[in-house]
Structures are given as structure tokens and as C-alpha cells.
Structure 1
Amino acid sequence: MHMSRGTRGAVMAVCATLLLATSACGDDQPEEATAHQVRLYGTDGNMSNSYAEELGDRANLVDGMKGTTPLTPLPEDFKKRLLSVDPKLDGFLYAAESYDAVVISALAAEVAGTTDPAAIAKQIVGVTNTGTRCGTVAQCLRLIREGKDIEYRSVSITRAGFTDVGEPATASYATLHFDGQQLNDAKTEFVGAGDESAASNKRPPRGDAASSPDAPLVIGGLLPRTGDLAIAYPPLAAGAALAIKEINAAGGVLGEEVVWVDGDDGTNPAIAKATVARHVDGGVHVIIGAGGSGISAAVLEDVVKAGRILFSPSNTAANLSEVDDRGLYFRTAPPDGLQGRALADVILRDGPQKIAIVARKDSYGEGLQSIVRAELERAGFGGDKVKLLGYQPGEDANAAPIDFSAGAKEIKDFGADAVLIIGFGESAAVVRALADADVPLAALANS
């Protein structure tokens, strides 16, 4: 779910409208398409320069591919600060969300006056709403220490704060375009989504400044250092590292420096559960992750039983909004109900006649597939115009490569002229299978 990014100074269009109309932003006219060409579309799990690298010597197959991702235009200063942490960083997606997840956790602990996870959890929604607005770690911590309520706004939390269930009320999405084997930033379009009125207006209980703080605050990572989402790790890790650095430079939390404990989710439930167990045994108060929605769903019960907080910067599955979390699960990434509209719009603007949607079989892939399908139905695409397919991702790095040859033949026989692929790095196998089945991809026609 990491998408590599370069500088976003050249922006084709910036839209301030909600995603309620039939067109997101830019030209409403369908792009010219040669007869029988099949266009590829992607989403946040695969719209990246790193995705092209997954295809190796067949990277040209992504030429012309388009897709969407949750993405806020990032200030140049923030990018420079990220690069000071990781000079090799070549992408920024979810770095802002990772940064904000760590910062919000720290601010909530300062307000609570303790490192007790239950007390911190009660303050997380509140620090993003109904207070004095602040935009830097140092400014927010100073206001809290002065006894003031705060309303945190930063790189990913911009227009509105969290809803009552602990997720963003509003979001920003980008439409991305592959030109050749690289994303062309000059074609990137941004559109806002969500409803500011959905932000919580509940005031949390005041923290007890006289209580025993049990500092230091210990935050643990549950990020995809390995596995199918490993391409997402660098910006996620950089965002968290930058947050810890700036929190401690501002005096830390409750008078002591915040401690970071690294941890891998492996894009694998078994690895993630083992990491959670180590964090619990090691006294971690807040766990940042997991990278994938399905991994968070798999470990949430363990986290809740242990009375810890799970705070993901990159979970987007819509069903996590209703999960039984006892108030201990939060996310800075917006739910896919918003992204589904943006994806459907991007596809429909090109005027397709038949659409195939291929998704990895987990809560992220199948959830987003269902949302896009519903949006296409609203646009008049009946069952004979849309085909749903799926693939089972490997359980670990040693799993056999995905065989999508049968699915590729189904798509060819169906006569689709648009294929949406919802997956992570492993979904490159779908692109290869389509080419091997002689599906007339637009990239091949233009080569």
C-alpha cells in the first residue's frame, strides 16, 4: 500500500469538491482508446514505481495504467524532514499517516497524564477535535502543558478530525498515471472526500495531571518489513521515526523521551501475532500497524485482550469501522468506502463497456472490490458488464507464485476492455498472466 512518489510540485488539478458527482476532477471526457485495447487500473496497493519493479524485464506492461490512492499533497518541508531520516526514501505514501498516528498517540498520552493504554485511548479522538488548533508537535505539547484542549492538524489530518469510531472524517485521494515504467507526477490529480460534519464533537474526560504517569511511553511498530507489503515499509517506517524524533526534541511525553520498539507484521497473521505477543511482554503501550487491513483484523483480538492500543496508518478496509475493539483500535487512513467512489469514477471516465475486477482474497481486496462493484451498479453497469475474480495470496515469502492463467483466460473470453487489479506487490502476477494470455493490453499496443 505504499506508492513511490517523487516531487508533487507539478499538479495537474486540485479539486475541493466531495466525491458525490460522476467525475472526480480533470477532463470529464473519456480518453481516446484504440479498439479492443484493455486498460489496466490499480489502487493503493500497487500504484507505485516499486510495482513496476515487481515485473522485472516486463515492467513496460504497466505503461498507461491508472489508479487511485489515499494521498494528501505533502509540504516540501515535510518531505525534506522524512529524507533526513531516510535519505534513500523514494516514496511518501502513508508516511504522513504513520507520522500522525505516532504523534496523536503521544499527544493523547500527554493529555491523559499517564501511559495507561485505556486512558490514552479515551483521548485520541479528542485531540483531533474541539480545541485550540495546533500544527506542530512542539506547539501542541506546549498547549497541553498549559492546560488547554487542542485540535491537532498536520500532514494527513487537515480538514477535519476523527469520527467517534476513531478514523478520519475526511480524506484526500490522488489519481495516478504510469507513463512508461514510472508514475508521472505532472498528471497527478487530487480530490477531497468525506464529510467534515462527521467529525466527533464529544469532549473526552480531562486527564489527571497528578496521576502516576508510568513514563516512558513505549510505542511499538507492527509494520510490513517483510512479505507482500514490504514495498510499503520505507515510508511507513520513516514517518514513525520522524515523529519519535520530533516528539523527543519537544521534550518527550510526561517528562521522558518516548521509546520506539521496532516490529514486523510480515504481511502474515502468524508473524504479526508473534510480534504483538513480544510487544505485550515488552510493555508496549501503543502498537502502530498493521500495514494491511487483514493483518490488523487477525491480531486485533490479541491486542484488545492485552488492553493495548492498535493504531494503523494504512488500514482502509471498510468493515474495520464496525469492528468490536472496545475503543482500542484507530487509524489515520480513510476507509475504502471513500476510495471506492474515486476508483469507479476513474474507470468510468474512460468509457469502458465491460469491466473485470480482480482482487486478492482478504478483507482489503474483497471489501474494496465489493464497494467498486456497487458504485458501478449505481452507474448502470449490470451483472453482464462486470466480472469479479479473485486470487489467493501466498501465506509467506516462500509460497509458490500466484497462477492467474485461468483467470486471465476468463477475462479474455469475457471481452473486458478495463481490468481493475486490487492487491499488493504479488498482484504483478495478474498483469503477467494477462499478457501471457494475449489479452490486448493498452501498454502492448503502444509499445
Structure 2
Amino acid sequence: MLGNRTSRAALSTACAVLLLATSACGSDEPKDAGTTQVRLYGTDGNMQNSFAAELKDRASLVNGMKGTTPLTPLPESFKERLRNVDPKLNDFLYAAESYDAVVISALATQLAGTTAPREIAQQIVGVTAGGQRCDEVAACLQLARAGQDLEYRGVSLTRAGFTDTGEPATASYGTLHFDNQQLDDGKTEFVGAGEESGASSKAPPRGRKARGKAKDAPLVMGGLLPKTGDLALAYPPMAAAVTLALNEINAAGGVLGEPVKFIEGDDGTNPAVAKATVAAHVGQGVSIIIGAGASGISRAVLPDVVAAGRILFSPSNTDAGLSAVDDKGLYFRTAPPDSLQGRALADVMLRDGPRKIVLLARKDSYGEGLQENVRAELEKAGVGADRLKLLTYTPPADPKTPVDFTGIAQEIKSFGPEAVLVIGFGESARAITALADAGVQIRS
């Protein structure tokens, strides 16, 4: 995959240079030079089947929309196991990352021999790098119970382990295409990013052999996932994956001699809701909190989590700035940082050869962070700053109060771009309808 990524990057750079003088590399001249026509692009927050439903009777507007998301080719057996948990599941965004976050947490706890969060945290990176490789929950738990150093390779974590900061050293991205109001799996391509050499080489503390039930068992985990709010459309696959991991861990004998206990919790895609959930989890003895869904929510609650001495382990945070956050060694994620996704997304856009591009993003750490990464990658490929327009919008505090994109849509139309990247969650569907209402022709 890395070789494929390199060749695409070279092609993208060449295309960007040629764009100044020609319409080569995949983009035709608009049929009507006086009419604004754009291609739509999206990101992991809106590139899923459930996003089309957000446009209701105007769902056809997403036809032709392209984008990227952290995505590994998922084994059919994994998808089937997820459907056994939730038969209605039709998206798998962050399912693999959610599954692996729970499994890694369980293995680290078993090796630590205690449910004390700080001791578990010292084992998490080591579980993914070095030691005897394993990829099945039961086999990995057996190694952990023997106190043996192991290297977990799961559904999302396939090429390399975590960096010293507790996040994937490598990533796989899927380039997705909407067709007939749903993602066309037949057009999905996978692109690798990152370097295996970035994985940690530090030895974790020696694992403890299991000697019956630990005195502080059971391990209690808590959810901090977006059951409600702007990111609620991503909740079903994440919740199904967490349940699947817990079922398989407990079927294999649990952790520290007892079944793992899980307490559900909502982050609401809202700092106030998330903080209340964290406080409740702390009061109920939760050691590891799985979440939050959005990067901005994790930033908001992390000080509370750290002050309580608990672990925050997100399957979906991509804000690159979180790599350097002051977490006292208690924050981890299975989702790769947007410094990697920015390259993949810029590559997808440049293949279509746009000469003028708008980057529209949520005004939060996720949106502005990814916007900046994409901007930097486009400029590196030769797209001049005068051909880029960066816009942001403030997400609503209450999902019942939608964002008014009318002014932004007019500003985009006046700029006359050939491509619009929308970095947002479910609320960003209104940006697309606003563009259409403003008279912007969206290419399918």
C-alpha cells in the first residue's frame, strides 16, 4: 500500500503543477463557464451511508461525493460478527478501531494484574509493539495470563503498533464514493500511510502471571460514545464493536478472573453532556473510558479524566494536536491522527484536477485541525494560496437548532471553486443543500 500511495502522491504533484496551464489530470472544463459547478468531497465525519439520510428528500445531492476515512479492509467474518450484534448495521466507520480499543485495554489490564488505571496505562503501548504476535482474543488473553510480552494485531491495527504517545504509527485510509445515495463499496480504494519505524521500541513493565482472581477485579469500563448529538450517525458501528469485543473477551474467560463490566455513557457530542458522563463513571469505579467520539469532546473532558486518574481511550479521535496533549500518560487512541489523513484526502482531490478549492470545516479542533492539514498538503503539491479558500462554521450547541449556511453558500459561489471539501458531521448536510439553493451546480 505504501508504494501505491507514493505513486499517487507523485501523480498528484504533477497534476497540481499542470493545472496552472491545462485542464489535464482528470478535470474537464465546465460546460457553462458562467455557472458554478463543483465536486463535493467529505471526510470520516460524513462519509457514511447514514449521511445521505441527513439530506432527506434531497439525498441525491451526495451522488458523486468522494472522501476519505480511516478504514482497513474488514474481513467478512468481522462484519458478520458485528451484524450478529446489530442486524440493522449498514456502516462500519470506526468499528475496527472501537473493537481494538476494548481488546487492547483488556490485555493491558491482564498484564498489569490490577485494575489500577496508571498501571494499566503503562502496559497499553507495549501490548501493541514487541513480544509474541497474536490476533485472536482468546489466544492473546492466554499469553497475557501467563505474563508473557505480546504484540496484538487486531482488525484496525495490522501493520505496526502504537507510537510512544499511544496512537497508531501507521494507518489505512479508504477512498469512498457515493452513488445512488449510498457508498459504492466496489469503488472503495485503500491507501496506506505512516511508517512502521514509528512504533514504540520501549519495553513495558514485566507482565504479572495470573494467580486466580485479582482482589480489585472486575475491570469496569465505561462508554463515552456519541449516542446523541452531531456525531450520533457514527454511533451504531462503534457501539456494536464495543459489545462484540466485550462478548468475546468474557467468552474467553474475562480479565483478572472475572467478566469485564461495561457501563454505557453518552458524550452527546457536547462538552457538558460528556463531562457529566465522565463524572458518573468516576463515581461508579470505571477504570477505562472508551471515547470520546469527537476530538473536541476528548479535549474538553481530558483534564477531568486525568484529575481522576482514569484512562481515556478513543477509537475515533483524529485531531493531530492530541498527540502532544498533556495527558500524564492516560490518553490513547486507535484512530490515526489527521496529519496522515490530510495527505490521503489531498491526494483524492488532486486526482480530479480542481483549480480552485474551498475547504469548509467545523470550527473545532477536529475540523480546523484537518482543514489545516489538507491546506498544507495541497500547497505542498503546488496549489497556490490564492486558489484556496478556508471557511469555518460554528456547530450548534443544540442539534435542534441547525446551522444557517446561507451566507457561507453565497461566499462559496462568489469564489467560484471547482471543489468543495466539507469537514463536518451530520450537521454538514445542510451546507450541501445550501449550496444547491444558492445555485451552485453539484457534479454527480
TM-score by length of 2: 0.93
Give 1:396 shift. Answer: 2.2
Q: What is the match of residue 87 of structure 1? A: 87
What per-residue deviation string (whole Å, max 9, x for no partner) do you get for residues 384-431 of structure 1? 100000111101223x21111111111111110100000000001110
Q: What is the match of residue 389 of structure 1? A: 391
Q: What is the match of residue 140 of structure 2? A: 140
Give 1:213 shift. Answer: 4.3
Q: What is the match of residue 268 of structure 2? A: 266
Task: Identify which of 25, 29, 51 aligns with 1:30.
Answer: 25
What per-residue deviation string (whole Å, max 9, x for no partner) do you get for residues 156-191 of structure 1? 010000000000000000100111211111110001
Larger mean Cα displacement after TM superposition, 218-227 or 35-44:
35-44
Task: Name structure 1 gaps, 5 residues minimum.
Answer: 1-14
Equivalent residue letter for 1:236? M
Task: Identify which of 257, 260, 284 aligns with 1:282.
Answer: 284
Note if contact 1:25-1:191 (Cα within 8 Å) is conserved in structure 2.
no
After superposition, residues 111-130 of structure 1 pair within 5 angstroms as 111-130=111-130
Larger mean Cα displacement after TM superposition, 380-389 or 205-214:
205-214
Task: Name structure 2 gaps, 5 residues minimum.
Answer: 16-23, 31-35
Q: What is the match of residue 232 of structure 2? A: 230
Note if contact 2:171-2:336 (Cα within 8 Å) is conserved in structure 1.
yes
In the alignment of these two chains, the number of paired residues is 427
Q: What is the match of residue 328 of structure 2? A: 326
Q: What's the secondary structure of 1:232's corresponding residue?
A: helix
Give 1:144 shift. Answer: 1.7
Note if contact 2:127-2:151 (Cα within 8 Å) is conserved in structure 1.
yes
Matched, 1:63 2:44: no
Task: Identify which of 348, 354, 375 aligns with 2:377.
Answer: 375
What per-residue deviation string (whole Å, max 9, x for no partner) do you get for residues 27-48 of structure 1? x873354515210000000111
Larger mean Cα displacement after TM superposition, 143-152 or 225-234:
143-152
Matched, 1:78 2:78: yes
In the alignment, the residues of structure 1 paired with residue 294 and residue 258 of structure 2 have an alpha-carbon distance, to the nearest angstrom, of 31
Structure-2 change in CA distance of 1:395 and 1:364 (3 Å): same
Q: What is the match of residue 39 of structure 1? A: 39
Q: What is the match of residue 411 of structure 2? A: 410
Q: What is the match of residue 183 of structure 1? A: 183
Give 1:382 shift. Answer: 1.7
In the alignment, the residues of structure 2 paired with residue 383 and residue 339 of structure 1 have an alpha-carbon distance, to the nearest angstrom, of 20
Structure-2 change in CA distance of 1:382 and 1:24 (3 Å): closer
What per-residue deviation string (whole Å, max 9, x for no partner) do you get for residues 337-362 of structure 1? 00000111111111111000000000
Matched, 1:422 2:420: no
What per-residue deviation string (whole Å, max 9, x for no partner) do you get for residues 248-283 of structure 1? 001000100000100000000000000000000000
In the alignment, the residues of structure 1 paired with residue 248 and residue 182 of structure 2 have an alpha-carbon distance, to the nearest angstrom, of 32
In the alignment, the residues of structure 1 paired with residue 10 and residue 234 of structure 2 have an alpha-carbon distance, to the nearest angstrom, of 26
Give 1:23 shift. Answer: 3.4
In the alignment, the residues of structure 2 paired with residue 342 and residue 213 of structure 1 have an alpha-carbon distance, to the nearest angstrom, of 47
Note if contact 2:117-2:309 (Cα within 8 Å) is conserved in structure 1.
yes
What per-residue deviation string (whole Å, max 9, x for no partner) do you get for residues 304-323 of structure 1? 00000000000000000000
Identity, in percent, stands at: 69
In the alignment, the residues of structure 1 paired with residue 268 and residue 4 of structure 2 have an alpha-carbon distance, to the nearest angstrom, of 35
In the alignment, the residues of structure 1 paired with residue 5 and residue 426 of structure 2 have an alpha-carbon distance, to the nearest angstrom, of 28
In the alignment, the residues of structure 1 paired with residue 264 and residue 202 of structure 2 have an alpha-carbon distance, to the nearest angstrom, of 33
Structure-2 change in CA distance of 1:389 and 1:300 (3 Å): same
TM-score by length of 1: 0.93
Note if contact 2:361-2:391 (Cα within 8 Å) is conserved in structure 1.
yes
Q: What is the match of residue 33 of structure 2? A: none
Note if contact 2:360-2:392 (Cα within 8 Å) is conserved in structure 1.
yes
* Aligned-pair Cα RMSD in Å: 1.6
Give 1:21 shift. Answer: 4.8
Q: What's the secondary structure of 2:298's corresponding residue?
A: helix
In the alignment, the residues of structure 2 paired with residue 381 and residue 102 of structure 1 have an alpha-carbon distance, to the nearest angstrom, of 41
In the alignment, the residues of structure 1 paired with residue 215 and residue 3 of structure 2 have an alpha-carbon distance, to the nearest angstrom, of 44
Equivalent residue letter for 2:231? L
Q: What is the match of residue 299 of structure 1? A: 301
Q: What's the secondary structure of 2:386's corresponding residue?
A: coil
Q: What is the match of residue 108 of structure 2? A: 108
Note if contact 2:48-2:93 (Cα within 8 Å) is conserved in structure 1.
no
In the alignment, the residues of structure 2 paired with residue 44 and residue 322 of structure 1 have an alpha-carbon distance, to the nearest angstrom, of 22
Q: What is the match of residue 150 of structure 2? A: 150
Note if contact 2:27-2:353 (Cα within 8 Å) is conserved in structure 1.
no
